């Protein structure tokens, strides 16, 4: 299964990607997660990327493409992958198309998940992530059993810097301008399946699996 998830920040791509990765037994590749790990590790890439991430801006294509390609070439992607948060610009999409073509690979589908803007802002602002294991929560929709504590590993929950409201709105604007045009790019290739992201986590997952079975 080679699947790409597209959709605005806060629509639940990361949550769905993790569930789908488990369901299909393939790795979840999130360029946002990789970048956040680089920032935590204090690497040169992390240092450069952080300047853009804290502003809600996109990290330059050349940095992302080199990073993504080396992830794509790891052994675990042989049975497929669920890619989330990449590509984010038309040049990234064109470069990804070429990477796949060079390897003789094809995507099975591009699933776009959508929801109204105010809902997305509320979701992002409510999002919390476990500092230790990365499990996602939402104070409005999917709260942990104990406030501020991860159900899975007991680690502390925190809010990502780029989930603060002003940055969230900026990231929505960047999505409309830079990433939304990718839907037409993949529609032209016949890959696009649309899913309503304003449903519950379970209902969105069921909808994605339904459109994939078509
Ligand atoms: P995400 O977790 O996917 O929302 O990504 C968090 C931040 O990482 C974004 O707001 C960007 O600053 C950066 N980022 C992640 N993926 C990409 C990408 N494919 N291209 C450019 N910047 C990215």
> Tens of pLDDT along the chain (214 residues)?
999 999 999 899 999 999 999 999 999 999 999 999 999 999 999 999 999 998 889 999 999 999 999 999 999 999 999 999 999 999 999 999 999 999 999 999 999 999 999 899 888 889 999 999 999 899 988 899 999 999 999 999 999 888 888 888 999 999 999 999 999 999 999 999 999 999 999 999 999 999 999 8
Residue 210's pLDDT is 96
**Ligand 1 centroid distance, CA of 199 (Å):** 24
Ligand 1: which residue has its CA nearest to atom 8?
32
Q: How far apart are CA 92 and CA 136, in angstroms?
A: 27
Catalytic residues, by residue number, are 13, 88, 127, 160, 171
Q: Which residues pair with 5 in a beta bridge?
A: 84, 111
Longest dimension (CA), the chain: 48
Non-local (6+) Cβ contacts of 170 within 8 A are 55, 56, 57
**Ligand 1 centroid distance, CA of 214 (Å):** 30
**How many other CB atoms are there within 10 angstroms of residue 173's CB atom?**
10
Residue 163's pLDDT is 86
**Ligand 1 centroid distance, CA of 165 (Å):** 17
Q: Which atom of ligand 1 is nearest to the CA of 88?
A: 19
Residue 165's pLDDT is 85
Residue 155's pLDDT is 97
Non-local (6+) Cβ contacts of 126 within 8 A are 138, 139, 140, 141
Non-local (6+) Cβ contacts of 14 within 8 A are 30, 32, 33, 84, 85, 136
Residue 157's pLDDT is 97
- CATH superfamily placement of domain 2-26+79-213: P-loop containing nucleotide triphosphate hydrolases (3.40.50.300)
Residue 123's pLDDT is 86
59: alpha, beta or left, given left = phi > 0 and alpha = psi -120 to 50? Answer: beta
Q: Which residues line ligand 1 (CB under 6 A)?
A: 9, 31-32, 35, 52-53, 56-59, 64, 85-88, 92, 162, 171
Residue 214's pLDDT is 81
Residue 177's pLDDT is 97
Residue 164's pLDDT is 86
**Ligand 1 centroid distance, CA of 171 (Å):** 9
Residue 132's pLDDT is 95
What the block records as the tokens of 214 is 């078509």
């Amino acid at each position: 299964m080679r699947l790409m998830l597209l959709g605005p920040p806060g629509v639940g791509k990361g949550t769905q990607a993790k569930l789908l990765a488990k369901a299909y037994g393939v790795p979840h590749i999130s360029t946002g997660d990789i970048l956040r790990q680089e920032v935590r590790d204090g690497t040169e890439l992390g240092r450069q990327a952080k300047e853009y991430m804290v502003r809600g801006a996109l990290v330059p294509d050349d940095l992302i493409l080199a990073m993504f390609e080396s992830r794509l070439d790891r052994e675990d992607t042989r049975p497929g992958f669920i890619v989330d948060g990449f590509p984010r610009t038309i040049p990234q999409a064109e470069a990804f198309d070429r990477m796949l073509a060079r390897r003789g690979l094809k995507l099975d589908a591009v699933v776009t998940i959508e929801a109204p803007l105010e809902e997305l802002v509320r979701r992002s602002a409510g999002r919390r992530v476990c500092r230790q294991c990365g499990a996602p929560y939402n104070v409005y929709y999917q709260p942990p059993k104990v406030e501020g504590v991860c159900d899975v590993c007991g680690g502390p929950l925190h809010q990502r810097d780029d989930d603060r409201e002003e940055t969230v709105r900026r990231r929505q604007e960047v999505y409309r301008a830079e990433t939304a045009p990718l839907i037409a790019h993949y529609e032209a290739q016949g890959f696009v399946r649309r899913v309503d992201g304003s449903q519950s986590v379970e209902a969105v997952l069921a909808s994605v699996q339904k459109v994939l079975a078509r």
